[in-house]
Chains A and B, each alone.
Chain A
Amino acid sequence: MKINGFWIGVLIVLALGYAFTFFVDNEFYFFAVYVVLQGLIMAVAWNVLGGFTGYVNFGSAGFFAVGVYTSIALNKAFALPLPLIIVASACICGLIGLGTGYLTLRLKGVYFAIATLAMAIVFETVANNWEYVGGAAGTYVLQPENSFFFDSYVEFLFMVMVILAVFATALSRYLSISKIGQGLAAIRDDETAAECMGVPTLRLKLISASIMGGLMGIAGAPFPFFISFVDPLSAFSLLIAVNAIAMPMIGGTAYWYGPVIGALLLGTIQEITTVTISSELNLLVVGSLLVAFITLAPQGIAGLIHDLKNGRQKAKDKSHG
């Protein structure tokens, strides 16, 4: 039942996305939705390690930037088509996730969070000094001529993002209901107890870090073609990094749909703020929403939904006997 519901939803989203490219002409809407979906993929990615596994970290957005620069380098060197670039970025970022995970995942709590922050700074330093991809000055990236079956490259990019967002969501959902997801939840709740109950904690944490890295990579790969000019300031943007953490926190980190809800909500609010007031306000918007949720509803929106459902179930149970 539930499985069908999810996959029907996936088909509807893909169909709506495709229809959107037919019926909408104003490029602004493609840009706006692109940004929201980019946030969504990053939120889902962050949540695999930060939410499911409980390894809250500040450096995840660094993997987005690695995806961005991998994409620039591959485009410049081989002019590969975007789908291949995305796959390559996913692999490279996944491997870097695995490697850095191996180095940092033995740390706990705040030490881990700080180590990941340091890692992101290392990435940024590399980007600043790697002249081939623009170094500190940045580089222009031309949109390829070929926009496949679409009228413009922007429409193509938009559809790519819709597909990637659906893919990321489906992967994270699969993960959360699978045996691996149960193991990750056990690690989040109590790592020692998990290990003593047979959960291979190190292996599962590395899987989680690799998936986080890979998904961040696919979020970053199309970005150079989207904004055309990339420098370390845009790839390592504070807003992008903060969003990746705030969206799952606001949406709720314990369930796969939490980051999706958080990203759609926060992303939309930010786009509206950008248009009606100013993009300068976006950080303020995230900040205040984050504070509000952490104090009032630390389980996020998904947690509220879950409690509501549970409450109803309990009331039902009681009235039945």
Chain B
Amino acid sequence: MAENILVVDQLTKKFGGFVALDSVSFELKENERLGLIGPNGSGKTTMINCVSGALFNDAGKVVFENQDITALPAFKRAKLGIARSFQIPKPFHSMSVIQNLLIPLEYAAWDRVDHHRLQEEAMEILELVGFQDRANENSASLTQVDMRKLELSRALAAKPKLLVSDEAMAGLSSSEVDEILEILFKLNDRGVAVIMIEHIMRAVTRFCERIVVLDAGKKIADDIAENVMKDPEVERAYLGE
């Protein structure tokens, strides 16, 4: 039996009077590939913000590797091994592409990397994403699509045990989506658990072993892809009635 790497227990997040997440619980096993889907505004990004510590939840618990991290600031969670990409890219815009990767290598991954090989580590990740020629380019001048790739590379540079990609593939061509999936599969082979937030269903069903569906801040399904796709409630959430 694989251990749980992440447990989200009855997590609630409010923005003023608006309940963005309403007592949502789910678990993630070590090395698992989980899809987190739901219509626009259903609370996916908010969930990731609460897991990564970018926002603090109002009620409920987040447990990572058997440690309650609910009150930990984001930087400590990153050090423990939670990395995320941002749906709206947030590059360090005064830095080159490779410098963007050096930040997580110097901070989040510091205890897990060889301090003399930071440059090489960063280059290896850029090669993985096919970005090696862009290493010295200014990150502010990248196209939106390339910024998503940078988001993903930077999250990889944090050497995570749990990677959350928030719509890393939006806007990519179908062959690029396959490339990114290959990267995520490779990463998963090395033992990294992945939560994939994605609207591209082809990618979700191909990649994920299990899917959690959110609708208006509530969890409405949590099952293997096949069953989730057949679920009448999920269909209703997506198609409306």
Interface size class of B (residues with CB under 8 A): 20 to 34
Q: Are A182 and B73 in contact (CB under 8 A)?
A: no
Taken residue by residue from 34 to 64, chain B's Cβ proximity to chain A (1 for < 8 Å, 0 otherwise) reads as 0000000000000000001110000000000
Which residues in window 68-84 of B have CB below 8 A to A? 73-75, 78-79, 83-84
Q: Are B75 and A193 in contact (CB under 8 A)?
A: no
Q: Given A179-B106, A194-B103, decide whether A200 and B75 contact each other with a Cβ distance below 8 A.
A: yes
Q: Given A179-B106, A182-B102, A185-B95, decide whether A198 and B75 contact each other with a Cβ distance below 8 A.
A: yes
Which residues in A have their C-beta under 8 angstroms from that of B154? 197
Interface of A is mostly: helix
Which residues in B have their C-beta under 8 angstroms from that of A189? 91-95
Asked if A190 is at the interface of the complex by the 8 Å CB criterion, the answer is: yes
Taken residue by residue from 193 to 205, chain A's Cβ proximity to chain B (1 for < 8 Å, 0 otherwise) reads as 1111111111000
Asked if B107 is at the interface of the complex by the 8 Å CB criterion, the answer is: yes
Q: Are A193 and B108 in contact (CB under 8 A)?
A: no
Q: How far is the CA of A188 from the CA of B52 in the complex (A)?
A: 20
Which residues in window 85-129 of B have CB below 8 A to A? 86, 90-95, 99, 102-104, 106-110
A302: shortest Cβ distance to chain B, in Å? 12
Residue in A183, A199, A201 whose Cβ sees the most chain B Cβ within 10 Å: A199
Which residues in B have their C-beta under 8 angstroms from that of A188? 94
Number of chain A residues whose Cβ lies closer than 8 Å to a Cβ of chain B: 20
Q: 13 more A-B contacts (CB under 8 A) besides A185-B92, A192-B90? A: A185-B94, A186-B92, A189-B95, A190-B91, A190-B93, A193-B86, A193-B91, A196-B54, A197-B103, A197-B104, A198-B78, A199-B107, A200-B75
Chain B interface (Cβ < 8 Å from any Cβ of A): 52-54, 73-75, 78-79, 83-84, 86, 90-95, 99, 102-104, 106-110, 154, 158
Interface CB pairs A-B, < 8 A, 30: A182-B106, A185-B92, A185-B95, A186-B92, A186-B95, A186-B103, A188-B94, A189-B93, A190-B90, A190-B92, A190-B93, A194-B92, A195-B74, A196-B52, A196-B54, A196-B74, A196-B78, A197-B78, A197-B83, A198-B79, A198-B103, A198-B104, A198-B107, A198-B109, A198-B110, A199-B103, A199-B107, A200-B75, A200-B107, A254-B94
